[in-house]
Amino acid sequence: MWGICGGSGSGKTTLTRRLRARLGDGAMSVLNFDDYYRDLSHLAPEQRRGRNYDHPDALDHELFIGHLDRLSAGGDVEVPVYDFSTHTRSGRYETVAAAPLVVAEGILLLAFPEVASRLDLTVFLDVPEPVRLQRRIRRDTSERGRDPDDVRRQFAATVAPMHVAYVQPHRDRADLIFGPEVDYEAVADKLAARLG
């Protein structure tokens, strides 16, 4: 089981997609930690918007670990579909099928010892904050229906401080570190070669 981590906007999903393209269908399962935010439907919308989604407490790490273990044992998992515009679980699920390689992806993988201990190889993408912020704005406005100013506000209020507190301190625990100008194609080639 491998982990791809780094700050928000560092290119984790990009690298994961490049690796999957090299390995082919059925060779790799991907479990994205972003799918495991706790459901906040019990809170009013205004309260949800004010929450810190970059703190480890925001994630249902117990369910995530259970799913990692099930995939590792060869079983499929039903991953909750999270609605980032409302900060709630949609009530729908997507099946992630077991595969020879399980890749976990997320900013806080190494912040949870129970997750980190399950990873045989960890990759940390160390990308500068200005680059990560621009990518975050692009992603959140196009894919998550967010306002650019709201993304900037959240980045300054919680994303950047939580990166300093819970993401960057674990950088040196990773097996492989790439940055600041990551060549995702070359990294994907390097990772795929390890399975060769």
DSSP string, 98-165: --SEEEEE-TTGGG-HHHHTT-SEEEEE---HHHHHHHHHHHHHHHS---HHHHHHHIIIIIHHHIII
How far is Cα 86 from Cα 68, in angstroms, rounded to an integer?
26
Mean of pLDDT over the chain: 92
Q: Which CATH architecture has domain 2-183?
A: 3-Layer(aba) Sandwich (3.40)
Peptide bond into 148 cis (omega under 30): no
Q: What is the pLDDT of residues 12-56, one digit of tens each?
A: 999 999 999 999 889 999 999 999 999 888 888 888 877 888 899
- The amino acid occupying position 184 is Y
Q: Hunting for tokens 């990759």 — which residue is that?
A: 123
Question: Where are the chain's structural domains?
Answer: 2-183
Cβ-based neighbour number of residue 55 at 10 Å = 15
More confident residue, 178 or 39: 178
Measured in whole angstroms, the distance separating CA 17 from the mean position of its chain's CA atoms is 13
Claim: this prediction has a pTM higher than 0.85: yes
Amino acid at 57: D
